[in-house]
Structures are given as structure tokens and as C-alpha cells.
Amino acid sequence: MDRRNTVQKELTYDAVISYPGHPSADDIYRVISSKHSTISKATVYRNLSQLSEDGKIGKVESFASGETHYDHRTDKHYHGYCKKCGKVVDIDLSYDGKILEKAFPMEDGFSITSHELIFVGICKECREKEKENGTEGIKN
Amino acid sequence: MDRRNTVQKELTYDAVISYPGHPSADDIYRVISSKHSTISKATVYRNLSQLSEDGKIGKVESFASGETHYDHRTDKHYHGYCKKCGKVVDIDLSYDGKILEKAFPMEDGFSITSHELIFVGICKECREKEKENGTEGIKN
DNA sequence: ATACATGCAAATCTTTTGCAATCAA
DNA sequence: TTGATTGCAAAAGATTTGCATGTAT
């Protein structure tokens, strides 16, 4: 399974690296297709997962039915999710790789390899939107 | 938005409470429909989310494109996810409600309300399956 | 009576896949 | 040459929604 360099792959990589924040696959697709209208969404998906598999870009797993997000950062760190719009933000808290040693699966034979610590909250824009429209119930 | 008691809602509640582990919505639907073949999947989905919203059952948010799982436990605790099959297991590690105080969003106006700590790994069945079939690449 | 709940099918949304054509090495 | 990559459309899988009907209160 060698890797080959293609213009589409470079476009995908460049788009992630230059995208501020945590773009979804569709965000990246839209950026690229605005300049290169013939690129296929499937290609973007394939390249994003290949690039993250190869450690060239970061991947933020989907949470709570959201989309997968990508990251120009490749170092391990924690994220926050807006419970209203699914937006991802970086969290300033040192990454604790040793936490695995303290966690014991309550099922025989389950072995832990990594962890994700997700801070759930609400972003500025969504909070302001809530105020305007009166207090809408926060979806469970 | 009052709540009304219906047989379907009771069936849904009972199925979650008596289900060992962490059933998905479809798991619950299958259990119920085996005895009550006329129940609709949409009703099961609606009741599961209403019951978890009311705190009567626990909800385990979907992670990494998996399904949402439900839980007969309603206390806060941590979970492990099998990266191969998406299975959810309980993790023995005391819940740290104070961690929020140490986490600082790197975006203005994002306010944190809760956290989820997820341990990713591989379950016994999937590990054995890997051995049998030779070493298949673990999907990224 | 009122408005919440149900069942059904259709729709949504993100992501994956089959396949023939194309292109990098 | 040949196997990785692409574009397209269709498929997949989980969940939601519109709507007419049914039912708890």
C-alpha cells in the first residue's frame, strides 16, 4: 500500500494546514472546490483519512453524532465541543498520558490503548443566540 | 410539554433497565419488537431520548461515528470504546467533577459545563478476531 | 377537548463503496 | 506496466421528521 503524490492530496493537506480551527471534511471540501471545482468529495474524504492515518494532520473524532474534524496540530491535546453547534475548540490543560494506568475496564479482556478527554459546553455565538430567542431548551 | 405515560414508553424503559451493558437504540428496538412487533423504531428513538433527558436512564454519547448507547446506570462514570466494533464498557476510575476548574478554553466566550473521559481500546472478541485473520491494520 | 404520542415512510446527514477511467512511479 | 487514485453516483447506517391517526389526561 504505497502512497502516491497527487495534486488532490496536496490540496487537501494545504487546506487543513491553513484552515484556522478544526474544519470538518465538508469545510475542507468547500475550500478546495471553490478553486478546483472538479475535485470529488469522496477524494477529500479519502485523503483526509489517509493524511491523518499517516500522522500528517490531526484528527478529532466525532462526538455526540457530530462530524469528524481535522486539525493542523498533530500533538495530543484536549478539545471542547459546543453542545449546540458541534464546534470544536482547543483546551488548555496538559495532556496526561499516565491516566491509562489508573483506569480499569470492568470487562474481562478489554485493553485500553488511548484516551480522549472532551469538555462539553457552549460557544459564544450559541450562547448569544439563546439569549435572543429566549431560553430554548438545551437539547439532551 | 407534559409527559404522558404510554405502554411504549414503559416498554422502552423496562428494556433499558433490564439490558445488561450498554444497548444501542437498535438493540432496544429489537428486544421490544420481538414481543411487540407493532412498535415503531421512531417511537423507540423518541422515548429513549425523552427518558434520558428526564434522567430516568443514562445516555452514552456516540463517539467516533458510532451509535448512541443507553445505560441502566444514571450516575456519572467513565466508559471505554472498542475501536473495532464500537462496544461500550464501564471503566473503574473515580469521576472527577473538579477537572473543569483546571481546563481553560482557548477561545473567547466558550463556557464549559461538563466533561467526558473516554478510554479507547479493543475488546476481547475483536482482539481474538484479529489474531485469527492475521494482523489486519487497525483503522485510523 | 386538547395536545402529546404513535406508526409509517420519507428525508437527512455524514461517510463509504463499487466501478471504470486515469495517472504516478 | 501496474497498482494507487480519482470522480461519479449509489449505498450505507443512524437518526429525525412530516403527517394523519390514536390516546392519555
Give the CA-to-C1' distance from B63 to C14 in angstroms: 14
Average pLDDT over residues B21-44: 98
Residue A37, pLDDT > 50, answer: yes
How far, in Å, is the CA of A16 from the C1' of nucleotide D8?
Answer: 24
Longest dimension (CA), chain B: 55
Query: What digits encode the pLDDT tens for the residues B45-96?
Result: 999 999 999 999 999 999 998 999 999 999 999 999 999 999 999 999 999 9
Q: Yes or no: say if B81 and B69 are a contact pair by the CB < 8 Å rule.
A: no
In this predicted structure, the answer to whether residue B7 has a pLDDT above a threshold of 70 is yes
Flag whether residue A101 sits within 8 Å of chain B, measured between CB atoms.
no
User: By the 8 A CB rule, do A93 and B112 touch?
Assistant: no
Q: Where are the beta strands (DSSP E) in B8-128?
A: 58-60, 69-71, 78-82, 88-92, 104-105, 111-122
Q: How far is B28 from chain A (nearest CA, A)?
A: 19
Decide if A135 touches B, using CB distance below 8 A.
no
Q: Which residue of A has its CA nearest to B93?
A: A103
Taking the Cβ of residue B138 and every Cβ of chain A, the question of whether any pair is shorter than 8 Å is answered with no
The helix (run of H) or strand (run of E) holding residue A115 is strand A111-122
Q: Helix crossing, A7-18 with A41-53: angle to 10°?
A: 70
Q: What is the distance in angstroms between the CA of the first residue and the CA of the last residue of chain A? A: 43
Per-residue pLDDT for B135 more than 60? no
Has residue B139 got a pLDDT over 50? no
Of A102, A38, A95, A128, residue with least CA distance to B91: A102
Position B19 scores a pLDDT of 98
Question: B139: which nucleotide lies closest, measuring CA to C1'?
Answer: C16
Question: Residue B121 above 70 pLDDT?
Answer: yes
pLDDT of res. B1 = 75
pLDDT confidence of residue A130: 78
CB contacts of A122 in chain B (<8 Å) are 110-111, 113
- Which pLDDT belongs to residue A139? 38
pLDDT value at B35 more than 70 = yes
Q: Which positions ≥6 away from A90 have C-beta within 8 Å?
A: A73, A77, A78, A79, A80, B105, B106, B107
**Percent residues over pLDDT 70 in chain B:** 94
- pLDDT surpasses 70 at A109: yes
Q: Residue A132 belongs to what H/E stretch?
A: helix A124-132
Q: Is A117 exposed, middle or buried (0-12, 13-18, 19+ CB in 10 A)?
A: buried
- If residue A27 lies in a helix (H) or strand (E), which one and from where to where? helix A25-35
Q: With beta carbons under 8 A apart, name residues in chain A contacting B120.
A: 112-116
Q: How far apart are CA A52 and CA B11, in angstroms?
A: 43
* Interaxial angle between packed helices B7-17 and B41-53, expressed in degrees from 0 to 180 and rounded to the nearest 10: 70
In this complex, the nucleotide whose C1' atom is nearest to the CA atom of residue A26 is: C14
| Nearest-CB residue to B103 (from A61, A105, A119) | A119
Cα Rg, chain B, nearest whole Å = 18
Instruction: Please give the average per-residue pLDDT across A113-126, as a whole number.
Output: 96
